[in-house]
Amino acid sequence: MPEETKEKNTIAELQAKLRELEVQIAELQAERRRLQQQIAEMRAMEEVMPPTSQTELQQTLRRMFARFARFLQAQRCMLMLHDPVNDKLVIQEPLVGFSDDEKEELKKLEEIDGEFNSVFKERRMLILNSLVGCDSPDMHLLQRIGVKSVLAVPMVWERRDEDQQVIERRTIGVLAFFDKRGNGSFVDEDKRIVEVLARQAAAVIAGAQLIIQVIERKQELERAFQSMLAGVIIVNMKGRIQLINQVALNAFCDGETDGVGKNYDEVVKHDAVRELIGKAIEELSELTAEIELEKPEERIFRAQTAVVKDEAGNPTGIIAVFTDITEIRRLEQMKTHFVAAVSHELRTPLTSIKGFIATLLDDTEGYFDHKTRYEFYQIIDQECDRLRRLIDDLLNLSRIERGLALQPNWQVVDVVSVIKRVLTAQQAYTDKHELKMDIPEELPPIVADEDKLDEILTNLVNNAIKYSPDGGEVVVRVVREDNTLLFSVKDQGIGIPKEKLSMIFERFSRIDTRETRAAGGTGLGLYLVKHLVEAHDGVIWAESEGIGKGSTFFFRLPIFPNRAREEGYIFTEVEKYLH
């Protein structure tokens, strides 16, 4: 072959190789541009503000994993996060490329100790371009839903110091991709990319979880702070409010909706509170005071201040806590009245007993005839009964205050005979009142404590007499309603203000009017009656149209209380009356 021909062939070969190299260079440049675009997108995702809620995290992960799948040309993507409480991997949304039925099937992976658990525990990558012949149960499950290949990587979160040295490393889950598009295989380049993606996803998830935990904890503390029964105001050393809750705003700030960032002088309208806060800041001392409010209603607060300090012990402000003690003061006042009333109630029968006994003892010459002496003895007997009832009330109060139940002595009780006995006994104390009963003929017996039922009715009838100073009718009615008896005691007395009806069964409670003060009493009767009724599984309430219009007290008792049944009592003579 001539030299010229050889040279031409060589040039042609070189030109062909050059064209081949040009194609390869173009392909490499295209791949370089693709990788640069991927790097730019990943960096852009890193610069996105971290999610601050579970919803935002889900949205961020959905966008991120869709890009991840596109980078790797994978058809599906799955996230499993470690649950430290149950020490297992848990499937998490988003699951890219799976149907709802397939997602339900994937949930079963949580209970399988297979390859994904090994990836997590051993921090190793898993790459399987064919699942045929795999013995692992989790791979069998993936095959059932049509998965052909797997690339899984542990998600390792790292925390670094200022010198970028790793000071904490924690595996938080597993990121898995399935089925390369075009029936392709996962290759080494995919492994390098997926390692970067997993680190990025771990950083986003761990950072978001930390932020979400902090936000949720802050919101939880804020809810607790705002739901406190006490008012709280925290101010810094310059007098600016750092925190204030709704109780304090409502009580001391006259309609202000938010005082944070403002000076307490501008927000707090109550003079005594302003003075207390100002003094606490000036003196940096713990102070206590009682704050009384007159509007919109009378209330009393116990105020306490304390100094707020930083970690170094330097004062940064003060905290003032306002506890509503209105009810405590009311109870203290009621107790004071109660002690005075009990002293009076004890002294009155004792004075009568002492007087009549002294009179009888002085009658050495038999001046009083038998009839007169008998009347004296009757009065002494009645006053002794009055003392006994008062002492019984005090003993019952003591039991209730100690948390001890009033235990009924269950027996079959003839309601009619108890009512007749109570009315007869109470009629002896008054000639201004007419005591009546309105009871149907067919009234079943009930299971109850006869003495306690007697005490309930005696208290209510006695109250009806006591608070009807001008006399009138007192009517006791009983009607059957299903398997209960409804009792009522109605009088024509001084009545009860409607706004006080809910208070009259409280301990030491008495309606404070001229008429009630004249009637006397300890304020214990209705409180004890309520507990006696409730000991029978019953309920009690009162009705009145107001002052001067009389009152009606109702209480309902079951014919056979569940409490008696639970204690094992059987009364066949009562059972037959139940519907």
CA gap 69, 73 in Å, rounded: 6
Q: Does some domain include residue 552? A: yes
Q: Please check whether residue 399 is in contact with residue 407, taking contact to mean a CB–CB distance below 8 angstroms.
A: no
Secondary structure class of 142 (helix, strand, coil): helix
H or E element that contains 175: strand 166-180
Q: Does some domain include residue 207? A: yes
Q: What pLDDT, in 10s, does the model give residues 110-138? A: 898 889 999 889 988 888 888 888 888 99
Tokens found for residue 564: 């008696």
Confidence check: pLDDT of 47 > 50: no
Question: Looking at the structure, do residues 447 and 558 belong to the same domain, yes or no?
Answer: yes
Q: What is the mean pLDDT of residues 196-218?
A: 72
Confidence check: pLDDT of 460 > 80: yes
Q: Does some domain include residue 184? A: yes
Q: Does some domain include residue 150? A: yes
Domain end marker among 303, 324, 345: 324
CA gap 579, 574 in Å, rounded: 11
Q: State residue 523's pLDDT score.
A: 61
- Least confident piece of the model among 89-93, 237-241, 392-396, 534-538: 392-396
With cut-offs at 50, 70 and 90, classify the pLDDT of residue 464: very high
Q: Please check whether residue 474 is in contact with residue 461, taking contact to mean a CB–CB distance below 8 angstroms.
A: yes
> What's the number of domains the chain is made of?
5
With cut-offs at 50, 70 and 90, classify the pLDDT of residue 526: confident
Q: What percent of the chain has pLDDT over 70?
A: 82
Q: Please check whether residue 303 is in contact with residue 322, taking contact to mean a CB–CB distance below 8 angstroms.
A: yes
Question: Looking at the structure, do residues 255 and 370 belong to the same domain, yes or no?
Answer: no
Confidence check: pLDDT of 14 > 60: yes
Question: Looking at the structure, do residues 289 and 343 belong to the same domain, yes or no?
Answer: no
Question: Looking at the structure, do residues 18 and 60 belong to the same domain, yes or no?
Answer: no
Q: What is the mean pLDDT of residues 296-306?
A: 85
Q: How far is CA 84 from each of CA 87, 90, 290, 535, rounded to the nearest angstrom?
A: 5, 10, 49, 49
Q: What is the mean pLDDT of residues 216-220?
A: 75
- Least confident piece of the model among 27-41, 125-139, 440-454: 27-41
Question: Looking at the structure, do residues 351 and 246 belong to the same domain, yes or no?
Answer: no
Q: How far is CA 70 from the centre of its chain?
A: 48
Domain end marker among 275, 307, 324: 324
Give the strands of the sheet with 472-481, arranged side by side.
433-438, 472-481, 484-490, 552-558, 539-543
Question: Looking at the structure, do residues 179 and 57 belong to the same domain, yes or no?
Answer: yes
With cut-offs at 50, 70 and 90, classify the pLDDT of residue 476: very high
| Burial degree of 516 (CB within 10 A; 0-12, 13-18, 19+) | middle
Question: Looking at the structure, do residues 245 and 315 belong to the same domain, yes or no?
Answer: yes
Question: Looking at the structure, do residues 550 and 467 belong to the same domain, yes or no?
Answer: yes
With cut-offs at 50, 70 and 90, classify the pLDDT of residue 3: low
Q: What are phi and psi of 279, to 5 degrees?
A: -65, -40
With cut-offs at 50, 70 and 90, classify the pLDDT of residue 519: very low
Domain end marker among 215, 242, 260: 215
Question: Looking at the structure, do residues 19 and 77 belong to the same domain, yes or no?
Answer: no
Q: What percent of the chain has pLDDT over 90?
A: 15
Confidence check: pLDDT of 518 > 50: no
Q: Does some domain include residue 238? A: yes
- Least confident piece of the model among 12-16, 170-174, 239-243, 365-369: 12-16
CA gap 249, 261 in Å, rounded: 14
The range of the structural domain enclosing residue 342 comes to 329-386
Q: Does some domain include residue 92? A: yes
Q: State residue 429's pLDDT score.
A: 81
Residue 452 belongs to a domain with what CATH number?
3.30.565.10
Q: State residue 417's pLDDT score.
A: 94
Residue 208 belongs to a domain with what CATH number?
3.30.450.40
Question: Looking at the structure, do residues 189 and 118 belong to the same domain, yes or no?
Answer: yes
- Quick check: pTM over 0.85? no
Q: Does some domain include residue 221? A: no
Question: Looking at the structure, do residues 558 and 479 belong to the same domain, yes or no?
Answer: yes
Task: Give DSSP secondary structure letters for 5-36.
Answer: HHHHHHHHHHHHHHHHHHHHHHHHHHHHHHHH
Q: Does some domain include residue 467? A: yes
Q: State residue 481's pLDDT score.
A: 93
Q: What are phi and psi of 475, to 5 degrees?
A: -115, 125
Question: Looking at the structure, do residues 26 and 154 belong to the same domain, yes or no?
Answer: no
Q: State residue 517's pLDDT score.
A: 46
Q: State residue 1's pLDDT score.
A: 52
Confidence check: pLDDT of 49 > 70: no
